[in-house]
Structure 1
Amino acid sequence: MQSLSQILPAGPANLPISQIETLLLPRLADISLKLIGAILLWFVGRWVIGFINRALLRGLLSRAMDATLRTWITSIVTIGLNIFLIIAILNIFGIETTSLAALVAAGGLAIGAAWSGLLSNFAAGVFLILFKPFRVGDVVAVAGISGTVVEVTMFATTLNTADNVRTTIGNNAVSTSIIQNFSANPYRAVDLRVQLAASIAPDEAKAVARAALSGIANILADPSPVTEILEFAEAGPRLVVRPFCHNDHYWQVAYEAQMAIATAFVDAGFPQPSVSLASKPN
């Protein structure tokens, strides 16, 4: 069997195999060493980044920093360290990082134009971090969704609704909507509307409603519950019954107050309000 040196004759257009080997082997060895070095640098760098993130997270937790701000800081540090790691790996192969930076900048403009919605969510996330209209754990209503704030990331806000549905909303939709924070104040009102029959004396009904509320746990004494006539309807006076409680007890107070008032009205012998039905045209 003929060797490669016998098949390819030496000449001006062809180099001897020995000379090709002399030229290629050092390059292959150099590339192999660089590849091994890049792989080692990648794994060591990732370990160092993980170590720095864990140390940073422990430091932020010891300072009792807001969970949202803590997530942002660790995310930004992770992204920055990974960028430096990639640049260091490229330097091993002798790639000019200055030209690469210009290429990345040009690509960033193109991506920014294509992902304008994503960038608007990022900008809105910065707004939420700086002005803090709510924090993790607060009960809020944003973009038409009510729930408990689970997480605020760079691009989206996650809520758990009252029926235990995990809901993720883009930060731009959050920042441009009306934000209601039910946890910002130390207590909130539970608004109940009670329709009375026309034959019931409002003062008697108010007294029965107040007595019914007195047996419910977690209703605040200060401010005291409000029981007043809200308006006059066709069926009779309509009361507003408004006990106050901490946000954590809102639904417990709301459910128990309605049951207690309904039971008290039945025990007092109050008649049901009459409801007039409009006649249908023939």
Structure 2
Amino acid sequence: MDINQITEKIDWNLIMNYGLKLIGAILVWIIGSWLIRKVMKQISKIMDHRDYEISLKKFLLNLISWTLKIVLILALLGTLGIETTSFAAIIAAAGLAIGMALQGSLGNFAGGTLIMIFKPFKVGDFIEAQGVSGTVKEIGIFTTTLNTFGNQLAIIPNGKLSNENIINYSAEETRRDNLTIGIDYSSDIKKAKEVLLAIADDHPNIMKDPAPQVFVAELADSSVNFTFRFWAKNADFWDCHFYAIEEVKARFDKEGIEIPYPHQVEIQKKG
């Protein structure tokens, strides 16, 4: 068989058709890959500008990159004339199945993403959430880890954490203490107020501006209850808190001001 016979049997229209599709697919791949690199670079700059957490940044960049690559592959197959509807349906079905299986994990991921974007707290902050108080040790994609007062690790799912109340004690530089102090009805109210204000005045780390406050808050069944308020910097707060409690007892004893406590009365009935 000579060359002329071979060339006569070649379907040049078919070759031209698929050749053009192949060239188009190569161009789609080259241009698409270039566009993906440009888009990912721009997204990375935006994340750096908004100071995203490094763990969140890496996760989101990988997720966006793979999503764009899947779209590019589908576009590439479409350019070659391959039906992509079935591929898209399979991907959608797989995504739905994975989403149903990992519903809780996806909720935690969404919560972690919100926490890292809006930053209601950061590593090193002292917070109270989900009935746990502690210093934030790590903010992950799915969970947040706290160091409690007793140096235990508390691991809280981000889904619950992002949907419930959070108290961030470190968000402000200063913090106000609010103590309730009770005295006996027979004790001198004005003297008690003077003693409490002197306690606040004598500690160098209890702030003088705003000024400490003492006022009668309640006439209870067995005591006159004062509210004792003062401000301190976060770093000094607990030192001032425990100082105030100890000094109240010591100075009230010295001034003869009685702090009431429950009494038990025994009644004997003579038969």
State TM-score, norm by structure 1: 0.64
Within the candidate set 69, 74, 82, 2:58 is matched to: 74
Q: State the match for 1:240 in structure 2.
A: 227
Pairing 1:46-65 to 2, within 5 Å after superposition: none
Partner amino acid, structure 2, of 1:176: N
Within the candidate set 96, 106, 118, 1:119 is matched to: 106
Within the candidate set 214, 218, 231, 2:205 is matched to: 218
Do the aligned residues in 2 keep the contact of 1:213 with 1:261 (CA within 8 Å)? no
Structure 1 residues 103 and 278, CA gap change in structure 2 (3 angstroms): farther
Q: Does 1:259 align with 2:246?
A: yes
What secondary structure sits across from 2:214 in the alignment?
strand
- Whole-Å separation in 2 of the counterparts to 1:277 and 1:230: 26
What secondary structure sits across from 2:258 in the alignment?
coil
Within the candidate set 210, 214, 228, 2:215 is matched to: 228
Q: State the match for 1:170 in structure 2.
A: 157
Where structure 2 has 5 or more consecutive residues not aligned to the other structure, the ranges are 1-43, 70-81
- Whole-Å separation in 2 of the counterparts to 1:174 and 1:147: 14
Q: Does 1:184 align with 2:171?
A: yes
Q: State the match for 1:9 in structure 2.
A: none
Q: State the match for 1:11 in structure 2.
A: none
- Whole-Å separation in 2 of the counterparts to 1:245 and 1:115: 45
**Paired residues, number:** 215
TM-fit CA distance, 1:105: 4.9
- Whole-Å separation in 1 of the counterparts to 2:61 and 2:184: 65
TM-fit CA distance, 1:273: 1.8
TM-fit CA distance, 1:210: 1.2
What secondary structure sits across from 1:127 in the alignment?
helix
State TM-score, norm by structure 2: 0.67
- Whole-Å separation in 1 of the counterparts to 2:265 and 2:56: 59
Out of 267-276 and 118-127, give the one that drifted further.
267-276
Do the aligned residues in 2 keep the contact of 1:213 with 1:260 (CA within 8 Å)? no
Structure 1 residues 135 and 279, CA gap change in structure 2 (3 angstroms): farther
TM-fit CA distance, 1:103: 5.3
Partner amino acid, structure 2, of 1:160: N
Do the aligned residues in 1 keep the contact of 2:108 with 2:159 (CA within 8 Å)? yes
